[in-house]
Structure 1
Amino acid sequence: MIRIVIADDHPLLREGLRRILQFEEGIEVVAEVGDGQGAINVARNMSFDILLMDLNMPGVNGLEAGRVIRREWPNIGILVLTVDDSDEKVFQVLQIGVAGYLLKDVDSKTLIQSIHKVYNGEPILSPAVTGKLLGQLTHPSRVKNTCGLSEREMEILHYVVRGSSNREIGTALFISEKTVKNHLSSIYRKLSVEDRTQAALKAVKLEFIKL
């Protein structure tokens, strides 16, 4: 069962999300809150898998709450659902290591699929957000080395940037998922990042991978 907390300051939107999710087998909405502090409080008092969160909320906003939750409860997957697609906000949010970033015009089917993907450890970006991200990386910084990444690790990093899952990477490279995970751990350490989203961002920014 995927346990979800909804954080949004609009009661009608929370109700709409709950109605969509409550009829989905394997998904349970365990709490609803109206601001970032509420999301932090829930994380302190109960166990859940995914935080479905808006960014623009009163008091403690989604970005601030995301930083705290990622630091203190790294196993919680944060799936941002917002109308804010500004270049700066997209890049700020992805840098803290959220699991996904969707805009509120997403259809219910895509939302459900995204929840399952986040639960399985796959990063999610809407096409519009991907475009914003590429805009931020138009003038990436250059480096003279590859941070000590091996040829195999660079190969895996290419698949990560493309959004491939561990299983898909393993199949493509004829290696086990466990081997992929081991390589990813090494990649994160060498790039000084915490997850695959941050690794993909850094790989593109440092021009390891051309888009």
Structure 2
Amino acid sequence: MIRVVIADDHPLLREGLRRILSFEEGIEVVEEVGDGQGAINITRKIPFDVLLMDLNMPGVNGLDACRVIRREKPNIGILVLTVDDSDEKVFEVLQLGVAGYLLKDVDPKTLIESIHKVYIGEPILSPAVTGKLLGQLAHPIPPKENYGLSARELDILNYVVRGASNKEIGGALYISEKTVKNHLSSIFRKLDVEDRTQAALKAVKLKLVDLN
């Protein structure tokens, strides 16, 4: 059972999310809170798996709450669910290492699929957010500025930025998922990041990937 907490300052939206998730076998909404401090408090009180987090809330906002929760409870998967798709906010949130970033116009099926993916450790980005990442790619850097990444690792990083799963990367490059995971571990180490979302963000900032 995936235990979910909803953090949003709009009661009607919380109720709507609860109703959607109540029909999904294997997901249980265990608590709802209306601000960032409430989200922090609940993570200190009860065990759960996934936090659906709005960003724009009164008092302690979602961004500040994410910082605290990531530091205190790193095993909780934070899935940001917001209307804010500004470039500044997207990059600021992704740098915190949240599990996913979705916009509130997401359809119920995608939301449920995203919760399941976050639960098993897969990062989630909405198409709009992925587009913002790709939009930052202006020019590739010279090959010598590859931060020690091999050609195969750069290939894999290319797919990571595009939002491909390990299975999809393995199929495209004709290698096993285990090999993909091994390469990802090496990529994370060389880029000094903790997960694939941070790796994608850093790849974009350093212009390591050419998608032209």
TM-score by length of structure 2 reads: 0.89
Aligned to 1:159: 159
Q: Deviations over 1:97-146 (max 9, x none)?
A: 112111112221221122122223322222222333345x2567957521
> Distance in 1 between the 2:71 and 2:172 partners?
33
SS of 1:3's partner is: strand
Tell me the equivalent position of 1:34.
34
Give the residue type in structure 2 aligned to 1:193.
Answer: V
Find the aligned partners of 1:98 and 1:141 in 2 and give their Cα distance. 27
Scaled by the length of structure 1, the TM-score of the pair is 0.90
In structure 2, the residue matched to 1:12 is 12
> How many Å separate the matches in 1 of 2:105 and 2:33?
21
**Distance in 2 of aligned mates of 1:11 and 1:158:** 40
Q: Distance in 1 between matches of 2:139 and 2:93?
A: 18
Give secondary structure in 2 for the equivalent of 1:24. coil
Specify the code of the residue in structure 2 equivalent to 1:49: D
Alignment of structure 1 residues 34-183 onto 2, 5 Å: 34-135=34-135, 137=136, 144-183=144-183
Alpha-carbon distance change, 138 to 188 in structure 1, aligned in 2, over 3 angstroms: closer
Amino acid at match of 1:77: G
CA apart distance, 1:173: 3.1
**Percentage identity across aligned positions?**
80
Gaps of 5+ in 1: none
Question: Would the aligned equivalents of 1:51 and 1:76 in 2 still touch at CA under 8 Å?
Answer: yes
AA aligned opposite 1:164: A
Distance 1:204 1:132, change over 3 A: closer
Shift of 1:46: 2.1
- Matched pairs, number: 210
Aligned residue for 1:69, secondary structure, equals: helix
Shift in Å, 1:32: 0.9
**Secondary structure in structure 2 of the residue aligned to 1:129:** helix
Distance in 2 (CA, whole Å) between partners of 1:82 and 1:34 is: 14
Structure 2 unaligned residues grouped into runs of 5+:
none
Question: 2:191·2:202 contact (CA, 8 Å) conserved in 1?
Answer: yes
| Further displaced range: 152-161 or 186-195 | 152-161
Cα deviation for residue 188 of structure 1 reads 0.9
Identify which range, 137-146 or 8-17, moves more after superposition: 137-146
Secondary structure of residue in 1 paired with 2:210: coil
- What's the RMSD between the two structures over aligned residues? 2.0
